Structure 1
Amino acid sequence: MPKLVHTTSIALISGLLCLSMGTARAEPAVATKPAASQKKADKKAEEKQEVVELNDQDPAMKAAFKKAQGSLDEFLKIHAANDPNVDVESVRVRLSEGKVTEYVWIHPFEKDGNGYKGKANSVPSRLKKLVVGGQVSFKREDIVDWTYFEIKARRMHGNFTTCVQLAKAPAAEVEALKKSYGLDCSKNL
């Protein structure tokens, strides 16, 4: 069943990259309670975040899924290494509720028996039982994309599905965005 593709804009793609890099900023050594005004602003921003759904019937998206699956073993080795130069290791997974399917970024995630578990790091638009930060369980075959950020090189790896979405956005804006996040869609690992 094909997914609807909303109009792709740089603001939306930038939001997707921010979501996939959601916790890239340093966490405080001591947990602090955000001010009420910051909580309201965060909630308002989250409510306004439009989701760009994936068209899983698009040949380019199918190729992105295949590329991500083909390089998944290498990514999982990088994830397991706990390298301090690697941050925000995330996977995009196919999740379903009945006949409804959506592709959601998961970060953090970890091995759990024969599968994985983690927290939803993107705003679900079609799944009614899932919220940002909600715990999900998934299998390896549900992973359709992966990404991580290499700190010293300031380079994002993977994110194949986002690269497909970027192909439909204005070129000049895409280049600035790719440079800002260190995303090079022409490279693999």
Structure 2
Amino acid sequence: MVLMQHWTKGERRGFLGGMMLFVAGSAGLLTLDDALQAENARKRHKPEIRQTSASPQEEEMEKAMDEAVDKLDNFLAVLKTPKKNQEQFAIKFFVELKDDAELLWLNELKFEKGVFTGKLANQPALAKHLKMGETLKVKEDDVVDWMYVEDGKLQGGYTIRVQRKYVQAAERKKFDDQFKFKFE
């Protein structure tokens, strides 16, 4: 059994990107082929990750998380002094389990000394010890994406944008309707 704590941050993010695509596939938002690719990525072990090429979705998800991390300071500046037209601040982070992991969102944020405090914004599928609405603390280093809404439009949300790109056209409205903002 491979424990994620021995993986590099990039390996964990690649694994988690595959998990996100698998969950979206399980929910019927992606094709069966996309879901199977994500499931295969989830089953890889550390040495296999280095030797196996990632799917285009996984590569895009990795780039999205890298971009979000690179621009986290911009998010923190806005979070510190939001304008009246800026709302719905949230971060995405990963929770490591014994031999698995899950990406979750935290909203109603406060940030102090490198730690976010907020409420869990979605119901965990794997991290059963956590409950939606529970107050959690998340280290800045564990953030893989962030978002807020400005004038009704999504800012950040890099991984959401990648997920949306791979949603079948027939399911796009259903995907968009779950959010209280517009994509541009």
State the distance in 1 between where 2:126 and 2:27 align: 22
Provide Cα deviations, 1:102-156, integer angstroms capped at 9, x if missing partner: 11110012124342221100110000110001121111111111111113xx211
Give the gaps of 5 or more residues in structure 2. Answer: 1-11, 31-38, 43-53
- Corresponding residue pairs, total: 143
Q: What residue is the counterpart of 1:164 in the other structure?
A: 162
Runs of 4+ in 1 over 4 A off after TM superposition: 9-13
Provide Cα deviations, 1:82-115, integer angstroms capped at 9, x if missing partner: 3211010111111223333111110012124342
Q: What residue is the counterpart of 1:69 in the other structure?
A: 69
Paired residue secondary structure (2:129): coil
State the distance in 1 between where 2:26 and 2:102 align: 20
Q: TM-score, normalised by structure 1?
A: 0.64
State the distance in 1 between where 2:132 and 2:181 align: 22
State the distance in 1 between where 2:103 and 2:144 align: 8
* Equivalent residue letter for 1:102: E
* Equivalent residue letter for 2:23: H
* Equivalent residue letter for 2:147: T
Q: TM-score, normalised by structure 2?
A: 0.65
* Equivalent residue letter for 2:141: E
Give the gaps of 5 or more residues in structure 1. Answer: 14-52, 185-189
Provide Cα deviations, 1:43-99, integer angstroms capped at 9, x if missing partner: xxxxxxxxxx9x786111110100101111001100110321101011111122333
* Equivalent residue letter for 1:155: K
Q: What residue is the counterpart of 1:116 in the other structure?
A: 116
Seq. identity, %: 23
Paired residue secondary structure (2:167): coil
